[in-house]
Structure 1
Amino acid sequence: MTETIPAERRRWSVNWPQYTPADITPPELLPAALARHVPDWAEAAATPADVTDWDRRRSAALVPYALDAKGWPLHPHGRTGRTGRNLGRWGENAAADPIVVAGTGQDRRVLLITRDDNHEEAIPGGMVDPGETAPAALVRELREETGIDLSGHRPVILGRVVVDDWRNSDHAWVASTSALYLLPATVTAVAADDALDANWWSFGSLDQLDAEITAAGRTLYTAHRPLLRRALDHLDHP
């Protein structure tokens, strides 16, 4: 998502007076709209200056980040080419991404949903609710989007990383806890909540997954490629 920013200018320590990021704030999150109504998925702060608990947020962050001279949060990976907020919170927005894999060898499959926002094939995850833990969010999101309850399973935590989400900006971004659930065989998945569809796909390699999804006339969600690659690395090189 940062491909429009030259690599040598992404770091915040690099001076770039001409930097003019595009504001991606949707109408419902503009200050005038928030003054009238705050969506149930968003915080009321019109700007990061209206947030009062940066110390707590930073101490709880999955990925460390700094504040600028104004006290605004800075994307951990540097400039994105976008400003404003198209997410629920300023700064880090914690997500949980359960990667469910069934079978072994040639029969290995991965569970993906079709997202309702961009109609792409993705891991059945979502945002961690306020006061919720990442393990609880992993189970909840999977159950809500596919009907599969893996509350009795202990997953392998693959990582806690910033996700290259299309909604990321310089001051608001997504960081995910990804976890691998292993099942002996596929189970029935029924799409619900934010999912338009739920299917099991061949998962011998990322190329194989790509080819199968493309052959079906669909597209793999770019932001989840690194998470799926990490799952494959763990499976193939435990």
Structure 2
Amino acid sequence: MSEITETIPADRRCWSVSWPQYTPVDVTPPELRPSALAHHVPSWAEAAATPDAVTDWAQRQAVALVPFQRDAQGWPLHPAGRTGRTGRNLGRWGENAAADPIVIAGTGPDRRILLITREDIHQEAIPGGMVDPGESAPAALVRELREETGVDLSDHQSVILGRDLVDDWRQSDHAWVASTSALYVLPITVTATAADDALDATWYPAGSMAALETAIAAAGRTLYAAHRPLIARALAHLDR
């Protein structure tokens, strides 16, 4: 949460701490404001203009990857505390479940990792995305990888590394991203072609985090900060 909450004092992030002067910035884009939703709901978003219009909070809390609470008026509260932002710039209020397939080929210093250049932020990232309604995380891992890189690993076994909050740039006090990250290990690299939300698909050296970040910098690109800890955990898992 460091990148998003750097303007929030550490002793004020917890929801249990009273802060009457707290004035978060509304990050809701025009297409998700009540007046716009009344006429058209984007295909990627739910119709609820505010959390009050959501009727299945008990179910959402029961299946959440990361447990969360709601405030006195029933609005969901970010599990990590105040973000300095309010409103919604994601598809759903509360938790938005994502799937991040980490694909690594080879072993040791010769390892390579498959990353995409994200269309929205133009940074190198894991080829993942949001879990569709009614879809399981394992199915989403396979689908997102195939849609964004053309790589089909439906017949490969993955290792679930974690279910974590993601420091996503769109998050707010009332809407955030939690991801299931999984590791796929291949003997060699396979052909990857960018598609869907990806501008490019590249196999980068990944013998270590330092090697990866050096290679990305040499290419004149930047690693998406929110995915750095996910990748670091994958490499640490392989180094055990």
TM-score scaled by structure 2? 0.98
| Conservation of the 8 A alpha-carbon contact between 2:31 and 2:37 | yes
For residue 71 of structure 1, what is the aligned residue in structure 2? 74
Q: Does 1:197 align with 2:200?
A: yes
For residue 184 of structure 2, what is the aligned residue in structure 1? 181
Q: Deviations over 1:71-120 (max 9, x none)?
A: 00000000000000000000000000000000011210000000000110
Q: Deviations over 1:23-71 (max 9, x none)?
A: 0000000000000100000000000011000001000100000000000
- Alpha-carbon distance in 2 for matches of 1:110, 1:70: 45
Q: Which sections of structure 2, spanning at least 5 residues, go unmatched?
A: none
| Aligned-residue RMSD, C-alpha | 0.5
Corresponding residue to 1:109 among 112, 135, 138: 112
Written as runs of structure 1 = structure 2, the 5 A alignment for 1:123-162 is: 123-162=126-165
- Alpha-carbon distance in 1 for matches of 2:33, 2:108: 50
For residue 217 of structure 1, what is the aligned residue in structure 2? 220
- Alpha-carbon distance in 1 for matches of 2:228, 2:131: 20
Moved over 6 A (4+): none
Written as runs of structure 1 = structure 2, the 5 A alignment for 1:47-58 is: 47-58=50-61
For residue 16 of structure 1, what is the aligned residue in structure 2? 19
Corresponding residue to 2:49 among 42, 46, 50: 46
Q: Deviations over 1:95-148 (max 9, x none)?
A: 000000000112100000000001100000000000000000000000000000
For residue 63 of structure 2, what is the aligned residue in structure 1? 60
- Alignment: residue pair count: 237
Could you tell me which amino acid in structure 2 is paired with residue 101 of structure 1? I
For residue 236 of structure 1, what is the aligned residue in structure 2? 239
Q: Which sections of structure 1, spanning at least 5 residues, go unmatched?
A: none
| Conservation of the 8 A alpha-carbon contact between 2:32 and 2:88 | yes
- Alpha-carbon distance in 1 for matches of 2:34, 2:176: 19
- Alpha-carbon distance in 2 for matches of 1:49, 1:174: 20
Corresponding residue to 1:33 among 32, 36, 51: 36
TM-score scaled by structure 1? 0.99
Could you tell me which amino acid in structure 1 is paired with residue 32 of structure 2? L
Could you tell me which amino acid in structure 2 is paired with residue 21 of structure 1? P
SS at match of 2:185: strand
- Identical counterparts, % of pairs: 77
SS at match of 1:218: coil
- Alpha-carbon distance in 2 for matches of 1:31, 1:2: 26
| Conservation of the 8 A alpha-carbon contact between 2:109 and 2:208 | no
- Alpha-carbon distance in 2 for matches of 1:143, 1:223: 22
Q: Does 1:91 align with 2:68?
A: no
